[in-house]
Structure 1
Amino acid sequence: MLEKLFKLKENGTSVKVEVMAGITTFMTMAYILAVNPNILSASGMDANAVLLATALASFLGTVLMALLANYPFALAPGMGLNAYFAYTVVLNYGYSWQIALMAVFAEGLIFIVLSVTNVREAIFNAIPMTLKSAVSAGIGLFIAFIGLQNAKIVVNNDSTLVSYQNFKTDFSSVGMGALLALIGVLITGYLLIKKVKGGILFGILITWVLGILCELIGIYKPNPELGMYSVIPTALVSFDFSALGNTFGQVFKADFGALKSITEFIVVIFAFLFVDIFDTLGTLIGVSSKANMLDKDGKLPRIKGALLADAIATSAGAILGTSTTTTFVESASGVTEGGRTGLTAVVTGLLFLLSVIFSPLFLTIPSFATAPALIIVGFYMIASVAKIDWENMLEAIPAFLCILSMPLMYSISEGIAMGVISWTILHLCAGKAKGKVSVLMYVLTVLFILKYIFL
């Protein structure tokens, strides 16, 4: 049955490989179960309700990805989009979180229309192969940077913006976590060098166990004020799901009388739409490129199903009570482990569903244990730079700007914007646009420029 449904042999994989890949993807994404409630609760939402909504929306979206597209990609409420939801739409614009959820719900409905009418697929296919390789490499740097930040190896610095962790300060908490993350990178790297199947997953688990041992003997001391929590599970399961009622269906109770103007609400929807569409496309390009899933023309087969799964999950997630659900770049960790079909996604989705019950256990996995996986996956994805013709300045410069922008601007979509704008303008100025710049690339360039002017 699994063979017939997911075509495992055709994709050169097996049930064992897919299961391991699905578990690995979940482990690298599990942090969203802790981070998303923390961010959205700033808007006044119930943190426990957001946790349940996050898990259920992730389960639904990821299983839809498996059934509609047979790809090993996982979905969850997106980072960046949740911050825009809480800190910009609610806290800055002054809207209620119910109205913000309605904006997300509306965005999802628009996405469904765009997916069914092939608009999003056309955008994907219009991006040149060189930029697709650059997107993959840029995501590699971006995800590695996220890993370094999650582990607090890289920290804020007033003079240089970012710097390395000062191990002399708060060594028993933040410093020890950063050190364990560095050890985890070496452990994971060694396992991969020795070609140990599931090396990334085992790297996460070994690092977590080391953290538990350090806490037991007193070397690592939790300090919640610094974001460092106990890594020892205090409970295994919880069957209290009543909190979900605090957010479920609240999207339909939005008080539109509080809207300052319909124009501003449309701008909010458009902002969600714009960021989500290019974060999703960027992730699909980067991860599918790494897995060699693109055809000879640089197109992703069955992309319509993938985009439709993403769109449906966004609206469903809003009904449950969470911000925009999108395809996660951490899917690359499962792909790196050999995941090639929807079975990987099904395993990941089921683990998100199980996390509703086992949330006390899953939420104990520290960020310094998952950070090594993100850093190593970044190493794998940066290899796409080899596909770029660096001798051809006309293609190499836009590719470089795309790669550079993602980690420095902390956004996949901004990296794509820099790549698209520079590609179009440089080809026009050089008189080489004919046959190299499609009509849709011109449209995207104009839209990106307008975004920077008006948003």
Structure 2
Amino acid sequence: MKESILSYFEIEKLGTTVRREILAGFTTFISMAYILFVNPSVLGASGMDKGAVFTATALASALGCLLMGILAKYPIATAPALGINAFFAYSVCIGMNIPWSTALAGVFVASLIFILITIFKLRELIIDAIPADLKFAISGGIGLFIAFLGLSEGGIIVANKSTLVGLGSFQVGSTWVTIFGLVVTAILMVRKVPGGIFIGMVASTLLGLVTGVIPLPTKFVSGAPSLAPTFLVALKDVPKINTVQLWVVVLTFLLVTFFDTAGTLVGLANQAGFMKDNKMPRVGKALASDSTAMLAGSLLGTSPVGAYVESSAGIAVGGRSGLTAVTTGIFFIFGLFFSPLLSVVTSQVTAPALIIVGVLMAQSLREIKWDQMEIAIPSFLILLGMPLTYSISDGIALGFIFYPITMLAAKRGKEVSPIMYGLFFVFILFMGILNTK
């Protein structure tokens, strides 16, 4: 059995071990387990049953992780994407007064289109057409974005009316859990201790439990909530996708999820060292995995599923094979029954991991040709745009719009591929008309 696992996932070839892959998968799961609780809360605002969404989130995430690990053999986890779930609940359902069942039907239709363009390798062509410098910028931008998430979730930075963001209060106990975890993790990483990120998370969890900042669960095991309120509801409302407004919603689901996932895959592949000659091996299988998970998620009852930046935590621990993603998927299934125990892994516990991983991903920025302004400007806009717009796809849009402009200004327009010119117009349309957030 072990030999089969070693052979299928090429464990030895990748210079890793089964133990390291399982630890990496668990680390990724712990880093993104919050989605099990956040997604039901967000989608619940649209009127959806929170218990059903919890179960749908766990099952869709597990399926996506298993497909990504077994088919694409990448250590990249998937789950319902943050941001697009807020668009689903607040913009589509509440803002446009569209029933959540019809919105789910929109996700279902978008996922079918996703699968079609994946089969015809359109998504793969687009990812391969992105210049290497912009791919490095995407990786670094995601690093800044998740570090910003970590600082925010840990309470180190907070919203500020005068300056948009500001330093948080150090009189809050939960903030000190983050600071303690960050210090411990930083020391372990500098000392090159294996599993430093995971150890830091355990240490901060223990501190939170000992000090009472994190409450101890009253029970550790519970049954999975019923999926009945949302299961296959999307199919009933597909005929209602018959207006311009609803097709705009479908197209927005399609574009945002496309570039969120594409950007995340490129960034993580760069971090793990998978990119070869500016191309991501087996990218077609990776894209097929996430689009299939998105289709299944819509039928189960959740917003679009996509690759998760928190996978970088597992990659940082040493995860390099599909076994990491498979492990994460298995833990999502277990998570259905151990939801009370997951509550001790608060955002303050995972925040240090996100901050440190941000540092690791930012290292790709050294590969960008900063001395060439036609490259530096779009790269910088991607880098800065992601954390400031709180969106991977919006950050990509800013850079991709400016790239053809700066290259033409530098009289290097012939070096820009037709696909990049096409994306220029797509993003102009997206930013000007479809972006209804």
TM tier relative to shorter chain: over 0.9
Deviation at 1:249, TM superposition (A): 1.4
Deviation at 1:4, TM superposition (A): 2.1
Q: 1:21-56 CA deviation, whole Å, 9 max, x = no partner? A: 111111101111111111010001111111111111
Q: 1:237-268 CA deviation, whole Å, 9 max, x = no partner? A: 11243x211111111233856x7x61111100
The one-letter code matched in structure 2 to 1:437 is: V
Deviation at 1:188, TM superposition (A): 0.7
Q: Is 1:346 matched up with 2:352? A: no
Q: Is 1:271 matched up with 2:262? A: no
The one-letter code matched in structure 2 to 1:312 is: T
Q: Is 1:442 matched up with 2:426? A: no
| 1:30–1:363 CA contact under 8 A, matched in 2 | no
Query: Aligned partners of 1:35 and 1:344: how far apart in 2?
Result: 23
| 1:231–1:365 CA contact under 8 A, matched in 2 | no
Q: Report the counterpart of residue 55 of structure 1 in structure 2.
A: 58
The one-letter code matched in structure 2 to 1:446 is: F
Deviation at 1:117, TM superposition (A): 0.6
Summarize the Cα distance change of 1:418–1:246 in structure 2 as closer, same or farther, 3 Å threshold. Answer: same
| 1:73–1:331 CA contact under 8 A, matched in 2 | yes
Q: 1:410-430 CA deviation, whole Å, 9 max, x = no partner? A: 111111111111111111122
Query: Aligned partners of 2:352 and 2:402: how far apart in 1?
Result: 33
Write out the 4+ residue segments of structure 1 that deviate beyond 6 Å after TM superposition: none
Task: Report SS of the residue matched to 1:357.
Answer: coil
Task: Report SS of the residue matched to 2:273.
Answer: coil
The one-letter code matched in structure 1 to 2:185 is: T
Moved more, 88-97 or 152-161: 152-161
Query: Aligned partners of 2:131 and 2:239: how far apart in 1?
Result: 42
The one-letter code matched in structure 2 to 1:110 is: I
Q: Report the counterpart of residue 453 of structure 1 in structure 2.
A: 432
Deviation at 1:453, TM superposition (A): 2.0
Q: Is 1:214 matched up with 2:211? A: yes
Among candidates 210, 225, 236, match of residue 253 of structure 1 = 236
Deviation at 1:75, TM superposition (A): 0.2
Query: Aligned partners of 1:205 and 1:102: how far apart in 2?
Result: 40
| 2:294–2:305 CA contact under 8 A, matched in 1 | yes
The one-letter code matched in structure 1 to 2:392 is: I
Q: Is 1:204 matched up with 2:201? A: yes
Q: Is 1:11 matched up with 2:37? A: no
Q: Report the counterpart of residue 261 of structure 2 in structure 1.
A: 280
| 2:55–2:224 CA contact under 8 A, matched in 1 | no
Q: Report the counterpart of residue 386 of structure 2 in structure 1.
A: 406
For 1:77-116, what aligned pairs fall within 5 Å after superposition?
Answer: 77-116=80-119
Task: Report SS of the residue matched to 1:245.
Answer: coil
Q: Is 1:237 matched up with 2:240? A: no
Q: Report the counterpart of residue 224 of structure 1 in structure 2.
A: none
Q: Report the counterpart of residue 150 of structure 1 in structure 2.
A: 153
Q: Report the counterpart of residue 192 of structure 2 in structure 1.
A: 195
Deviation at 1:233, TM superposition (A): 1.8
| 1:129–1:298 CA contact under 8 A, matched in 2 | yes
Moved more, 307-316 or 145-154: 145-154
Q: Report the counterpart of residue 181 of structure 1 in structure 2.
A: 178
Q: TM-score, normalised by structure 1?
A: 0.93
Q: 1:145-185 CA deviation, whole Å, 9 max, x = no partner? A: 11111112211111111111133xxx4xxx11112101111
Summarize the Cα distance change of 1:255–1:4 in structure 2 as closer, same or farther, 3 Å threshold. Answer: closer
RMSD: 1.2
Task: Report SS of the residue matched to 1:91.
Answer: helix
Q: 1:347-401 CA deviation, whole Å, 9 max, x = no partner? A: 0000001000111111331110011100110011111111112112221121111
Q: Is 1:290 matched up with 2:271? A: yes
Query: Aligned partners of 2:174 and 2:296: how far apart in 1?
Result: 36
Q: TM-score, normalised by structure 2?
A: 0.96
Query: Aligned partners of 1:114 and 1:4: how far apart in 2?
Result: 32
| 1:99–1:256 CA contact under 8 A, matched in 2 | no
Q: Is 1:127 matched up with 2:130? A: yes
Query: Aligned partners of 2:95 and 2:332: how far apart in 1?
Result: 31
Query: Aligned partners of 2:22 and 2:10: how far apart in 1?
Result: 15
| 1:155–1:163 CA contact under 8 A, matched in 2 | yes
The one-letter code matched in structure 1 to 2:260 is: D
Query: Aligned partners of 1:377 and 1:233: how far apart in 2?
Result: 29
Q: 1:67-110 CA deviation, whole Å, 9 max, x = no partner? A: 21100000000000100010011000001110111111111111
Task: Report SS of the residue matched to 1:238.
Answer: coil
Query: Aligned partners of 1:209 and 1:234: how far apart in 2?
Result: 17
Q: Report the counterpart of residue 34 of structure 1 in structure 2.
A: 37
Sequence identity percentage: 46
| 2:105–2:238 CA contact under 8 A, matched in 1 | no
Q: Is 1:420 matched up with 2:400? A: yes
Q: Is 1:390 matched up with 2:370? A: yes
Summarize the Cα distance change of 1:200–1:405 in structure 2 as closer, same or farther, 3 Å threshold. Answer: same
| 1:124–1:281 CA contact under 8 A, matched in 2 | yes
Query: Aligned partners of 1:453 and 1:26: how far apart in 2?
Result: 36
Query: Aligned partners of 2:92 and 2:207: how far apart in 1?
Result: 40
**Structure 1 residues without counterparts, runs of 5 or longer:** 221-229
Task: Report SS of the residue matched to 1:43.
Answer: coil
Task: Report SS of the residue matched to 2:79.
Answer: strand
| 1:36–1:50 CA contact under 8 A, matched in 2 | yes
Query: Aligned partners of 2:229 and 2:341: how far apart in 1?
Result: 23
